[in-house]
Structures are given as structure tokens and as C-alpha cells.
Amino acid sequence: MAVAAGFTGLWRFGGAGNTNTTFALEDLPQDSPVTENLREIRQAGNAAATLTRQLLAFSRKQVMAPFPLDLNEVTRGIFKMLKRLLREDIQFVHLPGENLGLTFADAGQIEQVLMNLVINARDAMPNGGMLRVETTNLDADEAYVAYQPNVPMGAYVQLAVVDDGCGMDARTQERMFEPFFTTKEIGKGTGLGMSTVYGIVKQSGGAIAVESAPGQGTAVRIFLPREASGVVADEEPENAVTSGETILLVEDVDALRKVVARTLTEAGYTVLTATDGQNALAVAEQHAERIHLLLTDLVMPNLGGRALAERLVQTRPETRVLFMSGYTESIAGENIWPERASSFLLKPFSTPWLLQSVRDALSGRQGERRRSISQLLPI
């Protein structure tokens, strides 16, 4: 998808710019007159990255990190943060379901869904009211499907956000998932919140049902397939500890390569850099000592990342591989390098997530950990 790929390019440069801004802030004295300007630049970069993630989510082109999830744990974990988004005249109630089954989904994306729904509900209650977040098991049989045709028959975990706000008419409900459609005033909404919810739920194999009427409030119900078994994923990245390993970093975007190299060097790694696959092979040939990890972009001129990895491990079978990319077509949900166990790092990534993914790859783990909203911000 050309639009998704184009925004991904913007995303890559935004991530590098934000990290360089952070480096500049660290190097400046606290009373420097340019400090506030740099903070505003970093904030603008984060906003651009958020917009891009929303567009990719709607187009269902995000790379997901799905795990068996307990939605009760997800909602409990984000409840306090969501409560801070609400006004004092809104009563916020959490109703976790008993014996809730697991669903196979990306925790960070489900958090994003919940945040968007809660913000929408808040804005629909200008005079206050009650907002409920509920979870429950649901078995959609023929009778239920007849009542709610948007939901195929099956076993689900249901996440519902219910408000007693102004509600919506039928015309608004028909368009509510369209990108850039909004009923809010100019400057108070991008029109991407509900389209993001739609894209994430559909990419997760789920369904959405909306019940609303003018003056009668709104209930948005998310149905995610219920898993029979599984274990809940780790909550957060561990503290990444380095033993001074050597990393061959291959990235054709100069700004991003410099940022990642500086981040890894400051973390204690020895970093070799290359601009593309052919250059990387030449750098490796000149390096007599061990290369512990190949950290390479997937899409590059003059030999891409997958071909580079295949050639490098022929002469250095001990080298582990961590792929990174912002282009999601043809790699979402796939093992990028089926011949060998490989890890994947989706751009943009935060500094902690970069360091933890590198640590996981070096230790032989694939780094399949839960990604929270904060960890998805650009480095």
C-alpha cells in the first residue's frame, strides 16, 4: 500500500529526529534558552508518529505482536491512566468479568482501542455521567447473530465501553469508522480514533457492534476470539544489560543509523555500521573478531536485509540476527526468515525497546514481549 509505505518513511525520519532532540536536551545546560524549543520539537515528532500509527492501524498494515491476553489484566493495568483523562463529573466504573477467557491479541493495540473508546465516551458526556468498562465471555450462537449480525458465530471475549452521553443517530453510526470523519469541533479531533479502533479489531480477527440512539448513550462492544489455552505474556521489558558484544548495524537512512549507533554505543556495545547489504559484507570481511549480532533493515538498496543475513551466516554461523523495518506489507504475521529463528523490531521503537530487543536477540529469545503504548513511541 503506497500510502502506508509513504507514511512509514516519514515515521522513520521522525524517530531519528526525536532521539537527536533527546541527545541535544541531555547535552544542554538546564537553563539553556533553546531547551523549551527542543521539547516542542520532540512533542511534534511524537504527534506525527501517533498519527502515522493510526493510519497504519486503519489500513491493517501494522505489524502485530499478539499474545494470549487476559483483558481483565489489560483493563486493570490502564484503568488509572484512563481515569486521569476524565473530568470529575464523570463516574468511571470497571466491571471485570469472572473466569474470563484469554484472547490472542497485541496488548499495546488493545490498550490503544480502550483509550480511544474512553476518550470518545468522555467527549459525548459534556455534562457528566457514568462511563463503564466491562469484560465478559460471550458465546455467539444463532440467536445472538440474528440479534447482532456484525458478529459471526463463535466464542469471544467481549470488551464493552458504555456511556450515558448524547448518543448518535443512525447516519453518524454508519460513518463513525470512516477515517477523518468526526462530529467534533475543528481542532478538537482528527477523526482517526474510531477508524483506528476498527482497523485494530479487524486485524485481530474480531468484530465490533455499536448500540446508540440520540439522548440514550452509546455502547461499543468489541468481540475478540476466545482462546482455549495459553499463558499471559511478560508485562514490560526487563533492564537490558550488555556484556560489550559487537553489533553490525545496517541501515540505509543516515539519520536513523547514526541515532541507533549512538544509542547502542552508549549502552556499552561495540558497533560496526554499514549503509546497505553489500557494504555490510565488506565491513564484516574486514572485522576479524566475532560479530555477535546483525541488526539490519529489511528493505535496502544493494542487497536487502534477508539476503544479507543468509550470506553472512554462511561464514559466521554464530551471528544472531535482528531484523527491523517500518514497511509492513508481506511481513505481518510471518516468520521473516523461516530458515532460522529470527527476531523482528518494528519501526519506530523507543530506546528501551531497542535495547531490550537487542538483548533478547543476543540471548536467543525472540523478544516476543508485550508492547505498551509508551514503548511504541519513536526513539
CATH number of this structure's domain 71-227? 3.30.565.10
Q: Can you spell out the DSSP letters for 89-107?
A: TEEEEEEPPTTPPEEEE-H
Q: Which amino acid is at 349?
A: F
Q: What percent of the chain has pLDDT over 70?
A: 66
Q: What is the mean pLDDT of the chain?
A: 76
At 47, list the grid cell.
Answer: 504527534
Q: Which of 375, 377, 378, 373 is nearest to 81 (CA)?
A: 373
What's this model's pTM, rounded to 2 decimal places? 0.52
Q: Which of 108-112, 202-206, 285-289 has the lowest mean pLDDT?
A: 108-112
pLDDT higher for 45 or 308?
308
Res. 363: pLDDT tops 80? yes
Whole-angstrom CA distances from 148 to 18, 100, 114, 139, 143 are 45, 21, 21, 12, 9
Tell me which architecture the domain covering 246-376 has in CATH: 3-Layer(aba) Sandwich (3.40)
- What is the C-alpha to C-alpha distance for residues 177 and 104, in angstroms, rounded to an integer? 23
Question: Of the segments 32-46, 306-320, 365-379, which one has the largest average pLDDT value?
Answer: 306-320
Q: What is the pLDDT of residues 243-280, one digit of tens each?
A: 789 999 999 988 889 989 999 999 999 999 999 999 99
For residue 315, the model assigns a pLDDT of 93
Q: What is the pLDDT of residues 158-185, one digit of tens each?
A: 999 999 999 988 888 888 777 655 666 5
